[in-house]
Amino acid sequence: MSDPMENRTAAPEPLGVQPEGSQLESLRTALAAAEENARQQRDQYLRAVAELDNVRKRAQRDIENAHRYALERFVAELLPVRDSLELGVRSGSQADVGSVLAGQQATLKLLESAFEKFSIRQINPAGERFDPTRHEAILMQEAPDADPNTVLQVVQSGYELNGRLLRPARVVVSKAVTT
C-alpha cells in the first residue's frame, strides 16, 4: 500500500527562501513521530491478523474434534445395552424362558434410558390420523369401525431426535369401506 503523501508534489519554494532551522527541525520531529505512529499501527495490524488466524485455526480444530467425538457420550450409554445382550446370548441356552424374558426387558429399559438421555423419542401413532411427514403407510385396509386415514396398526415404530424425524413409523392405515 503506497503512502498518499508520496504521490503529492511539493510546491516549489521560491528561490532563495530556505526554511529556518527551527522550522526544519520541527518538521523532522513531526515526520519522525508520524513514522513511529505508522510503525506502531502496522505492528498492531499484524498482531490482529495473526490473532484472527489463530482464532480461526482454533475454531476449526474444535469443529473437527466435535465431529470426531460427537457420538462418544451416546456410545458410552449404549455399551451397557450391548453387554446385557451379550450376557443374555451367553446364558440363553441354560436359562429358563422367564429369566430370558426378564433379561430382555432389562436390556430394553437400558436402551430406553439411553434414548431418553439423548432426546430420542419413539413415534407410536396407533389410533392417530395418518401423517405422511411422520408415518410410512405399508398397507391400506378397510376398517368399518375406524375413520378413513387412521393408523390401525404400527408395524415398526418411528423415532425422532430433538423433534427431527430419524425414521418414520411404518403403519397400516384404514381406508373407506367400499360397498
Nearby residues of 44 by Cβ (< 8 Å), 6 or more positions away: none
Q: Distance between CA 21 and CA 70 in Å, rounded?
A: 72
Specify whether domain 119-179 bears CATH 2.30.22.10: yes
Q: What would the 3-class secondary structure string for 139-152 be? A: EEEECCCCCCCEEE
Low-confidence ranges of the chain (pLDDT < 50): 1, 16
Distances (CA, A) of 104 to 75, 97, 98: 20, 11, 10
Q: What is the pLDDT of residue 178?
A: 80
Q: What is the pLDDT of residue 19?
A: 60
Q: What is the pLDDT of residue 41?
A: 97
Q: Grid coordinates standing for 42?
A: 502496522
Q: What is the pLDDT of residue 3?
A: 54
Q: What is the pLDDT of residue 6?
A: 52
Nearby residues of 127 by Cβ (< 8 Å), 6 or more positions away: 150, 151
Q: Distance between CA 94 and CA 111 in Å, rounded?
A: 24
Q: What is the pLDDT of residue 18?
A: 56
- 134 three-class SS: coil
Give me the residue label for grid cell 462418544. Answer: 72
Q: Distance between CA 175 and CA 147 in Å, rounded?
A: 8
* Domain boundaries of the chain, sorted by first residue: 19-69, 119-179
Q: What is the pLDDT of residue 8?
A: 52
Q: What is the pLDDT of residue 94?
A: 82
